[in-house]
Amino acid sequence: MKFHKEGYTSLALVILFIFVINAVANYYDAPTYLKWFLYAISAFLFIVIVQFFRSPIKHIIPNEGVVLCPADGKVVVIEETQETEYFKDKRLQVSIFMSPTNVHVNRNPISGVVNYFKYHPGKFLVAWHPKSSTDNERTTVVVQNQAGVEVLFRQIAGALARRIVWYVKENDQVKQGDEFGFIKFGSRVDLFLPIGTQVDVNIDDKVVGGKTIIARI
């Protein structure tokens, strides 16, 4: 387990806040009950930040025949839908919702070449809202594997998620299981697969990024 680089600023701000409020309380000799209350709040904030930005070390063996889960969370959507941005045809959508308690590292579901990337500014509807896929702040990435199969995956900000981070661009060669981005404080990742793809998960399944097999190509 390690602390993710995207959390350094947040951790520094929390530590500064903890130091200031406790220093003020001690300087003005606050009542003992108030000091202990501030100690409890300080410990809670520190634990929340550390657990949110935790980044488990994973040893992933790429497998061209499968689509790995791009994020930790719960499967909330499995359905055929019209993908209107890139493919402009029917695709099989699988969506993973990440709660604030999940690891928020996003990982490449397949290896290949990034054929398309676009960032979309937008709203911050709750991540399970039907229009979050099209109206919220989001990124869209399309990777084509060696067999010519393209998979589209999309980072979607939620009501709490106010920053999407990505590490890929068009024409990059990416490896299955490597990080392609990070979303802060609650969010969702959508996958768009070819119609007829064998899906190995069900609605409400708990899934692990880089480990759970979502589908087989």
Beta strands in 108-186 (DSSP E): 112-120, 138-144, 150-157, 164-166, 173-174, 179-183
In a domain, 40, yes or no: yes
- As a whole number, mean pLDDT of residues 29-35 equals 90
pLDDT value at residue 59: 86
- As a whole number, mean pLDDT of residues 50-75 equals 92
pLDDT value at residue 132: 59
In a domain, 211, yes or no: yes
Please identify every residue annotated as catalytic. 187
Cα distance between residue 191 and residue 93, in whole Å: 6
pLDDT (tens digit per residue) in 96-124: 998 888 988 999 999 999 999 999 987 76
Q: By residue range, what is the domain housing residue 113?
A: 66-216
Cα distance between residue 69 and residue 87, in whole Å: 21
Cα torsion angle, 128, 95, 177, 84, sign: negative
Q: What is the CATH number of the domain that holds 171?
A: 2.70.70.10
Counted domains in the chain: 2
| Whether pLDDT at 193 is above 90 | yes
pTM of the complete model: 0.85
Q: What stretch of H or E contains 187? A: strand 187-193
